[in-house]
Amino acid sequence: MMKKRIAMIFVTIMLFTCSSLFAFAEESSFTVISPTITSSSSIVYSDNLLISIKVAQGKNLLINLYYYPETTYSSAGAIKSTGVLVSGPHSFTSNNQLNFFTTQVNDIKHGLYCLSIDTVDAKGVIIDSEKQYFLTKGKQDEAPATKLFDNEVSNAMQFFQNLFKNIFGN
Amino acid sequence: MNKNKLKDKVQSIVLVVLFFSTILLLYFLWEGSSIRSLSLPTDVLFPAETAAELPEISTLIEPCIVQVNFGSDSYTVFSANSNALWSSFIEDYNKFSKSENVFIEEITSQQWEESMKFKSIQYKFNYALPFSEYFESVGSSKVPQFDSIKSFSIIAYSLASKVSLFVYDSVTDKYYRLISEKDRTSLSAQIDALSEVSHEQYYPINSFFGVKNDTLLPFAVKTSLRSIPTESEMYNLDQHTLNTLAEDFYGESLDFIRKITEDDGSIIYMYGYGQKILRFQKDNMLEYKEELTASSYVETSYLDALSIANVFVATHGNWSSLEGDSIVPYLRSAEGFTSDKKTGYRFNFGLKQDNYPVFYEEGAPIVVEVFGSQVSYYKRQLFIPTSLGLEPSTLEIYPIMSVLPTQYLTIRKILYDSGVPVEGFTSDEVFNSIASHITGVDTCYFKKSGDGVNTMIPAWIVCFSNLDIFFDLYTGEYLGYSDDRRR
């Protein structure tokens, strides 16, 4: 009985060790922090584009940013048009424990962009490639879409509050 | 007979004078009013030359930064010319305060944050200023509705509500919105005009490192800062000069003052059993302490206390250096303290070199404590440039977003030693915790302490809640830290 239990514990530990090893093996060599592209939104509201990528130690990356002035799609929905290189190629090698690659593109034209990140080995051969597409739009700077303050009501309320405060004191 | 009549008349006049004097003294005793209120104005007490060297209070008070959101996630920060922008804002506030219908409402921190996401301008101070007292002192109309705001450390304008000004009081941690019937300010046009001026692009820390922190970091800075050799204004002062300086504190005669020379060459002038102590630390600084006299305490407002400090510095060493070199002082930080349930103020004055703030590793250049109308503490350590400075470095500026990841272990040690909690075990967790604690980043001059270290070095200043850490602007190397804001 005791032997069985020890065997069970041993197997469980082995399973966890293996899964964590696999997790490390599949860990990406980089994380894109900016532009913020989530599964629900790939629109960036900005006139200036900051690119910030957190890079794991000992990795070589090749980073390019493409802009698509006119976008055409195939029947399957894939982008057919050719992108124009607006920033790059940036070669970045991460030597420290913590590494961030950062660059900025000011006064961008709004439209479709592609951030292309290639992982390169010591010989300069691309071993992995990732592309992130996103749209940029200008931010509306007029009055907020949803009213932050209800002026009229609060003004009237405040008027009476101030009036009563003046009469009766605080 | 005539003589007797004259005598009676004189006696009557003396009695009337005594009667009125008694009533006047009783009035002061009853009301607790200050005899000081009867004193002569500053320009009469001090000759014209001193008055000319007395900086206006309004020039000493300036925001540490002016933060502008141009909209579309485009930000910049003005720190070098914040005074000019603040003067312009005061004119706008004056127009705003003259509105017929003005209201005030308390808002939530979320409403504040949402408002600042729009095109906006924020004037941020390192200290809290009394709201009504300050704006009245700069010529604004009194608005009774605003009396409920005790103090402010940030004042802002946002296109989220064009008819409003936004106020943050760091003492009470409250947010307010001041509302007028229409936009009377030119701040919207000013923001547009500033966007046309050459400026550096800033981004929130969140965009660089993915941690929750809206503090802005510059992507790149252009500056011609160069190392500047300095010398203490106290360097090599002879005995005669020291005695003359001491006379400013003790009057014209030093007959009743004990003079002690310490082993390290420091000289102490002491009155009584230590009621007043003046110490000249050899070739370095001047420190003066006066025993608090709570019995003669007269309640003094914040700005009156600042005015007393201003006059005291002007008459005890001057606002220029002792050699007469011009320096540009500003109020760097201020905080209240209490003794016997009575309030005093501690003012730390900083200096600017070529519009950039100068920080010392230990202490502020000028510190004055005012308790009632009494100056209870005064410290002065000024380092004056001895030449225009070395040639500008040909090296490129080491970007701040590279400094932080390479120096995070040094930062962690300093924060840990100072009691700031840095969470996490892995390098990622520790770095994220540090990045989330940053409250400001700027360029400045830094002067390390120690004998023979007399150069002001161009530096990055990275601010945390209770201390500042400095890194070389061109190499990113750690230079030192200062927690003088707490002392």
Q: What is the pLDDT of residues B222-269, one digit of tens each?
A: 887 888 888 888 887 888 888 888 888 887 677 777 888 888 888 899
Cβ atoms of B242 and B281 within 8 Å: the answer is no
State how far the Cα of B266 lies from the Cα of B260, in Å rounded to an integer: 8
Is residue A24 pLDDT above 50, yes or no?
Answer: no
Res. A170 pLDDT band, cuts 50 70 90: very low
Q: If you average pLDDT over residues B471-475, what whole number do you get?
A: 94
Q: If you average pLDDT over residues A20-45, what whole number do you get?
A: 70
Q: Mean pLDDT for chain A?
A: 74
ipTM surpasses 0.85:
no
Considering only residues B345 and B239, tell me which one the structure prediction assigns the higher pLDDT.
Answer: B345
Residues 61-100 of B with CB under 8 A from A: 71-74
| Buried/exposed code over B389-402 (b: 16+ C-beta within 10 A; e: otherwise) | beeebeeebbbbbe
List Cβ<8 Å contacts ≥24 apart for B175-178. B175/B106, B175/B107, B175/B108, B175/B109, B175/B111, B175/B112, B176/B104, B176/B105, B176/B106, B176/B107, B176/B149, B177/A149, B177/B104, B177/B105, B177/B106, B177/B107, B177/B111, B178/B96, B178/B102, B178/B103, B178/B104, B178/B146
Instruction: Say what the pTM is.
Output: 0.81
Q: Please name the residues in contact with B344: beta carbons below 8 A apart, sequence gap of 6 or more.
A: B292, B305, B336, B337, B338, B369, B370, B371, B372, B376
Segment B116-164, tens digit of pLDDT: 988 999 999 999 999 999 999 998 888 888 899 999 999 999 998 889 9
Find the closest chain B residue to A108 by CA distance.
Answer: B72
Whether A97 sits inside 8 A of B145 (CB atoms) is no
- Which residue among B161, B402, B405 sits closest to A148, beta carbon to beta carbon? B161
Identify the CA nearest to B359 among candidates B477, B481, B465.
Answer: B481
Token pair belonging to B361: 């590793």
Residues from chain B that touch A158, judged by Cβ atoms under 8 A, are 103-105, 179
Whether A50 sits inside 8 A of B207 (CB atoms) is yes
Which of these ranges, A41-55, A155-169, B104-118, has the smallest mean pLDDT?
Answer: A155-169
Helix B187-196 to helix B82-97 angle, to the nearest 10 degrees? 160
For residue B457, give the H/E element and its range.
strand B455-463
- Find out whether the peptide bond into B329 is cis, omega within 30 degrees of 0: no
Whether A139 sits inside 8 A of B72 (CB atoms) is yes
**B117 Cα distance to chain centroid:** 28
* Alpha-carbon radius of gyration of chain A: 27
Whether B208 sits inside 8 A of A102 (CB atoms) is yes
Identify the CA nearest to B334 among candidates B349, B351, B313, B318.
Answer: B349
Residue B207 touches partner A, C-beta closer than 8 Å: yes
pLDDT of A164 reads 53
Is residue B101 pLDDT above 70, yes or no?
Answer: yes
| Buried/exposed code over A18-50 (b: 16+ C-beta within 10 A; e: otherwise) | eeeeeeeeeeebbebbbbebeeeeeebebbbbb
Residues from chain A that touch B71, judged by Cβ atoms under 8 A, are 139, 141
Helices (H) and strands (E) in chain B, counts: 14, 24
Whether A48 sits inside 8 A of B405 (CB atoms) is no
Residues 382-401 of B with CB under 8 A from A: 399, 401
User: What letter represents residue B59's amino acid?
Assistant: T
Identify the CA nearest to A139 among candidates B120, B62, B197.
Answer: B120
Considering only residues B253 and B441, tell me which one the structure prediction assigns the higher pLDDT.
Answer: B441
Whether B208 sits inside 8 A of A149 (CB atoms) is no
Alpha helices in chain A (DSSP H): 2-26, 151-168
Residues paired with residue A58 on neighbouring β-strands, in sequence order: none
Nearest-CA distance B106 → chain A (Å) = 10
Q: If you average pLDDT over residues B188-213, what whole number do you get?
A: 90
User: What letter represents residue B9's amino acid?
Assistant: K
Which of these ranges, A68-72, A160-164, B357-361, has the smallest mean pLDDT?
Answer: A160-164
Considering only residues A21 and B263, tell me which one the structure prediction assigns the higher pLDDT.
Answer: B263
Is residue B389 pLDDT above 70, yes or no?
Answer: no
Mutation for testing the A interface, residue in B69, B70, B73 having most A CBs under 10 Å: B73
Identify the CA nearest to B178 among candidates B101, B281, B259, B68.
Answer: B101
- Which residue among A104, A144, A151 sits closest to B219, beta carbon to beta carbon? A104
pLDDT of A80 reads 67
Q: Mean pLDDT for chain B?
A: 85
Whether A97 sits inside 8 A of B427 (CB atoms) is yes
Segment B269-299, tens digit of pLDDT: 988 888 889 998 877 889 999 988 877 788 8
Cβ atoms of A46 and A104 within 8 Å: the answer is no
Identify the CA nearest to B79 among candidates B259, B200, B188.
Answer: B200
Find the closest chain B residue to A50 by CA distance.
Answer: B207
Segment B462-472, tens digit of pLDDT: 999 889 999 99
pLDDT of B369 reads 94
User: What letter represents residue A109's amino acid?
Assistant: K
Q: Please name the residues in contact with B170: beta carbons below 8 A apart, sequence gap of 6 or more.
A: B128, B151, B153, B154
Token pair belonging to A169: 């004191």
User: pLDDT over 90 for what percent of chain A?
Assistant: 18
pLDDT of B274 reads 80
Q: If you average pLDDT over residues B442-466, what whole number do you get?
A: 87
Dihedral class, residue B404 (left if φ above 0, else alpha if ψ from -120 to 50, else beta): alpha
pLDDT of B61 reads 92
State how far the Cα of B99 lies from the Cα of B181, in Å rounded to an integer: 7
Nearest-CA distance A150 → chain B (Å) = 10
State how far the Cα of A159 lies from the Cα of B330, in Å rounded to an integer: 39
Segment A38-94, tens digit of pLDDT: 766 788 888 889 999 999 888 899 999 999 887 766 666 666 677 889 987 999 988
State how far the Cα of B352 lies from the Cα of B359, in Å rounded to an integer: 9
Cβ atoms of A119 and A60 within 8 Å: the answer is yes
**Bridge pairing between strands B257-261 and B285-290:** unpaired
Cβ-based contacts under 8 A for chains A and B: 102
Whether A102 sits inside 8 A of B399 (CB atoms) is yes
pLDDT of B392 reads 61
Residues paired with residue A17 on neighbouring β-strands, in sequence order: none
pLDDT of B34 reads 42
Res. A23 pLDDT band, cuts 50 70 90: very low
Q: If you average pLDDT over residues B23-46, what whole number do you get?
A: 48
Q: If you average pLDDT over residues B87-102, what whole number do you get?
A: 88
Identify the CA nearest to B431 among candidates A13, A81, A98.
Answer: A98
State how far the Cα of B348 lies from the Cα of B342, in Å rounded to an integer: 20
Is residue B323 pLDDT above 50, yes or no?
Answer: yes
State how far the Cα of B448 lies from the Cα of B472, in Å rounded to an integer: 12
Q: Please name the residues in contact with B202: beta carbons below 8 A apart, sequence gap of 6 or more.
A: B75, B76, B77, B216, B217, B218, B219
Q: If you average pLDDT over residues B31-43, what whole number do you get?
A: 41
